[in-house]
Amino acid sequence: MTTLINPSQAPRKPLRSLDDALAELLSYAHALGDTANGVEVVSTFDADGRVLAETVVSPLQVPAHDNSAMDGYALCAADVPEAGGVLPVSQRIAAGSAAQALQPGTAARIFTGAPVPPGADTVVMQEQCEALDGAVRFSARPPVNQAIRRAGEDVAQGADVLLSGTRLHPAALGLAASVGRAELKVVRRPKVALFSTGDELVMPGELAPAQLPAGAIYNSNRFFLRALLLRLGCEVTDMGIVPDQLAATQKALAQAAEHHDLILTSGGVSVGEEDHVKPAVSALGELHLWQMAIKPGKPFAYGRVGAAHFVGLPGNPVSSFVTFLLLVRPFLLRLQGAEELAPKATPMRANFAWPKADHRREFLRVWRNPEGRLDLFPNQSSGVLTSAVWGDGLVDNPPGRPIAVGDEVAFISFAELLA
């Protein structure tokens, strides 16, 4: 006699760890720069946040010559053996001008960035000098090699100054410019189609709060997900809100797959009767639905629709926000060829107690207080987006670990995750 098993009573698959899920997700992310049209040349002015598709090699040394670090006087230190010594001023050297060899027993008036004349071995700042008529008096005996920036001390000729895979920031742009690069080869921006699912969703501005029907909510996820994508350098197509209908969901997915590298959705990846994203993706391509051992953010989906990647985030706003930062952010950075993917965690002390640890890995919203410890937002629900605004980072808490006041915890700053 065959015994029928109720699906609800069937053994559940074990929850996946975040590290395992991320490793598999990244294995699907092949860098766009490896494709024929995946690289473009942009002005160095416009390259902030882009990922280099080349290694920048310096054709020169920086600085190009020994130069003064301040306004003052260049001289041979041995010519002033004691405080109060006086030397005649034999030349004046401004930044951008050529310097003549220093006449023995003299000093040269020099300005910041100007070349140090041959024969000088130190620079004395003007505040330690007294200008006389055609001469200068030194208030102290000067040391050798003071206030001189040596040729090549910043960049050597032929050095790799920026490596391929570097995500550029303002200082990196300045470094590229300092070696003469007006343009840079970068990986093209990922093209992302974004839409939300849910008949309960209403866009702000469509209805006043007093006019919202029962069960309706404003679509907050669409706003922060679009902002996060833009911060990561993506070209975003906002496809709006898709009705909770299988045909409408399939149509939206098929359209999005035609011209995008990634389709990102929020909501509809659970197992409810109105969650149509899962069957729609499965019908058009392939879907991997992961139940992850993290809190918040248990449901997560990855798949393919045509040539496009598909990622489905949970609908609860904090779950969607946190899973984006932990999974989608590194995935998009890998698509762009970035080498640095993982956020840096800082050891800090808890100013709170968390006695009832969950069996899942938890990401608690916290705030660094003026004493340098971490305060906990009182409501850690996955629907309380206030916690992500009040807080300035996350505590990455291992499964089953209670936290007592004063315990050392791993803190990940939102500044690190949102950069």
Beta strand pairing status for 67-68 and 148-149?
Answer: antiparallel
Is 42-59+157-187's fold the same as 346-417's? no
* CB neighbour burial string for 30-45, b if at least 16 within 10 angstroms, e if fewer: ebbbeeeebbeeeebe
On whether the CB atoms of residues 75 and 122 are closer than 8 A, the answer is yes
**Stretch 46-70: mean pLDDT:** 96
CATH architecture classification, 12-36+189-335: 3-Layer(aba) Sandwich (3.40)
What stretches of 86-220 show up as alpha helix (H) in DSSP?
Answer: 170-178
**pLDDT (0 to 100) of residue 273:** 47
The CATH classification number of 346-417 equals: 2.40.340.10
State the pTM of this model: 0.85
All structural domains of the chain with their residue ranges: 12-36+189-335, 42-59+157-187, 67-149, 346-417
Instruction: Check the CA dihedral 112-114-115-119 and report its sign.
Output: negative
pLDDT in tens, 232-243: 999 999 998 888
User: Is pLDDT of 363 > 60?
Assistant: yes
Report percent pLDDT > 90 for the chain.
79
Residue 66: Cβ within 10 Å count: 20
Type and span of the H or E element at 26: helix 18-27
The interaxial angle of helices 246-258 and 277-284, nearest 10 deg, is: 50
**pLDDT (0 to 100) of residue 12:** 66
User: Is pLDDT of 264 > 90?
Assistant: yes
On whether the CB atoms of residues 124 and 40 are closer than 8 A, the answer is no
Type and span of the H or E element at 320: helix 317-323
DSSP 171: H
**pLDDT (0 to 100) of residue 162:** 97
CATH architecture classification, 67-149: Beta Complex (2.170)
On whether the CB atoms of residues 60 and 157 are closer than 8 A, the answer is yes
The CATH classification number of 42-59+157-187 equals: 3.90.105.10
**pLDDT (0 to 100) of residue 269:** 65
Q: How many residues does the chain have?
A: 419
- pLDDT category, 228, cuts 50, 70, 90? very high
The shares of helix, strand and coil residues in the chain, as percent rounded to the nearest 5, are 25, 30, 45
Q: What angle (nearest 5°) sits at the alpha carbon of residue 10, between those of residues 16 and 295? A: 30
pLDDT in tens, 180-200: 999 999 999 999 999 887 778
Biggest CA–CA distance in the chain, Å, is: 116
Residue 200: Cβ within 10 Å count: 18
Please name the residues in contact with 56: beta carbons below 8 A apart, sequence gap of 6 or more.
160, 161, 162, 176, 179, 181, 184
- pLDDT category, 419, cuts 50, 70, 90? confident
pLDDT in tens, 122-140: 999 999 999 999 999 999 9
Q: Which long-range contacts (CB under 8 A, 24 or more apart) does 275-280 make?
A: 275/197, 276/197, 276/244, 276/245, 276/246, 276/249, 277/197, 277/249, 277/301, 277/312, 278/312, 279/246, 280/246, 280/249, 280/250, 280/253
On whether the CB atoms of residues 200 and 349 are closer than 8 A, the answer is no
**Stretch 353-373: mean pLDDT:** 96
User: Is pLDDT of 156 > 80?
Assistant: yes
Please name the residues in contact with 228: beta carbons below 8 A apart, sequence gap of 6 or more.
324, 325, 328, 329, 418
* Closest among 334, 187, 190, 338 to 261, alpha carbons compared: 190
User: Is pLDDT of 2 > 80?
Assistant: no
